[in-house]
Amino acid sequence: MVKNSQPKFQSVYDYLVRGIESGFYRPETRFPSERKLAEKLNVNVATVRRAFRDLITSGVVEKRVGDGTYLTRGGGTANGAEYVNIVLSNYQGDTQDEIAELALEEGARRNLRCRIVRLGSEEMAMFVRTAIRFRQPTMVLGDDLLTAATIRDIAGNAWLFAVLANRLDQLGIPSVIGDDHHGIRLLTDRLHSLGHRRIALLHNNSGHPIENIQIAVWRSVTGGGSPELRADVPTGAHPTAYAFQAVGRAVARGERFSALITLNDELAQGALAAFSENGVRVPEQMSLISIGDSLFSRYSVPPLTALNPNLAEHIRQGFELLARNRLHSGAPELLRLVAPALVIRKSDSAVPSVTTQPRETTVS
């Protein structure tokens, strides 16, 4: 019988892990059926399945259709870091897909196998626990997956992890981030060179540390007098519709700006649609530039001038951090910066000589 001092599925999980670590369960040997384990531990079958789920996601065990559940060869320890977990949020976005593709390519160059895992924040805590328990090198795209408790767990085993696009080095977690000071200045310098002085900013208003840095740099460079448009995107929601509404309201209010920087391409998509809806032509009447350089920015009408964050280099530095810190687990390196690049296309132009006014349209 399992103890009741913690969630039942965690007790079942601990029971299974003890069996794996003790050698009771051996590679390629089938586990008892879920029903038999449930009877033995006095829990229901759903609880056993929940315990197995985290072990299956981490590659420690595998479920074979019609043949039960088996401990994988190596038992999830990855035999000398042969495997690297690449953890993405289960939000399906262009960046997540590109990160997955680039990680597989970089892993192949290094003779490493990558396990692409898509999770929600509620699943991340147990996944991290499993990665730590079985010493699995893990790279995390650091959006909204990491709770305070999970961050503390990772910090205690920092050499096993690298977080991309989230600055957590101050909390003891190895991080790879874009050089946001340099990136925002590249964008504002570009617009200043075209004569723009009132440069608005559109952001998710997520409170994310990287976003906060970008906003602070923009305020510093522009002097703080230009409109700041908050899309107020709920966690996990797609930003485009919220961006459309935020920009539409700003245009309807008669906010004065000749250029707009968006902090990701999903926001840019909504902004471009809002300008079109309100008769503001890009780039003739409004310059629009974005951070992301995704497929949307490359093939939108007009194609967007954008800051390419150099995701390939983020991935490469993530692998380098994992390799370096594995050799120096007692003193892990905590921060690497990646320089972005400005890609000039057709969505920005010299500041118009006449201030444009929106159509007589109310945008809710």
Do 21 and 48 reside in the same domain of the chain? yes
Locus of tokens 């977080």: 163
pLDDT for 297-317, tens place per residue? 999 999 999 999 999 999 999
Per-residue model confidence (pLDDT) at position 143 = 63
Note whether residue 77 is domain-resident.
no
Expressed as residue numbers, the domain containing 289 is 180-308
Per-residue model confidence (pLDDT) at position 2 = 52
CATH number at residue 187: 3.40.50.2300
**83 alpha-carbon distance from chain centroid:** 20
The bridge status of strand 161-164 relative to strand 138-141 is parallel
pLDDT for 309-364, tens place per residue? 999 999 999 999 999 999 999 999 999 999 999 999 999 999 876 444 444 333 33
Evaluate the CA torsion angle 144, 145, 147, 152 in order and state its sign.
negative
Q: What's the mean pLDDT when you consider all of the chain?
A: 88
Do 298 and 214 reside in the same domain of the chain? yes
Q: Has residue 270 got a pLDDT over 90?
A: yes
Note whether residue 242 is domain-resident.
yes
**pTM (2 d.p.):** 0.76
pLDDT band of residue 40 (cuts 50, 70, 90) is confident
Evaluate the CA torsion angle 228, 233, 236, 240 in order and state its sign.
negative
Per-residue model confidence (pLDDT) at position 360 = 39
Note whether residue 227 is domain-resident.
yes
Q: 3-state DSSP call for residue 29?
A: coil
Do 89 and 157 reside in the same domain of the chain? yes
Radius of gyration over alpha carbons of the chain, in Å? 24
Do 184 and 224 reside in the same domain of the chain? yes
More confident residue, 288 or 69: 288
Rounded to an integer, the average pLDDT of 34-43 is 88
Do 52 and 120 reside in the same domain of the chain? no
Per-residue model confidence (pLDDT) at position 78 = 46
Per-residue model confidence (pLDDT) at position 333 = 97
Per-residue model confidence (pLDDT) at position 17 = 82
pLDDT band of residue 74 (cuts 50, 70, 90) is low
pLDDT band of residue 5 (cuts 50, 70, 90) is low
Note whether residue 160 is domain-resident.
yes
Per the structure, how many domains does the chain have? Answer: 3
Per-residue model confidence (pLDDT) at position 76 = 53
Distances (CA, A) of 159 to 29, 35, 76, 138, 239: 31, 38, 17, 10, 34
**Percent of the chain residues past pLDDT 70, beyond the cut:** 92
Do 95 and 66 reside in the same domain of the chain? no
Do 42 and 135 reside in the same domain of the chain? no
According to DSSP, residue 110 is labeled: T
Do 228 and 322 reside in the same domain of the chain? no
Note whether residue 135 is domain-resident.
yes
Rounded to an integer, the average pLDDT of 164-187 is 94
User: Residue 112: phi, psi to the nearest 5?
Assistant: -115, 145
Do 90 and 168 reside in the same domain of the chain? yes
Do 38 and 97 reside in the same domain of the chain? no
More confident residue, 14 or 23: 14
Do 236 and 267 reside in the same domain of the chain? yes
Note whether residue 15 is domain-resident.
yes
CATH number at residue 31: 1.10.10.10
Do 31 and 123 reside in the same domain of the chain? no
pLDDT band of residue 208 (cuts 50, 70, 90) is confident
Note whether residue 343 is domain-resident.
no
Rounded to an integer, the average pLDDT of 238-243 is 94
Note whether residue 140 is domain-resident.
yes
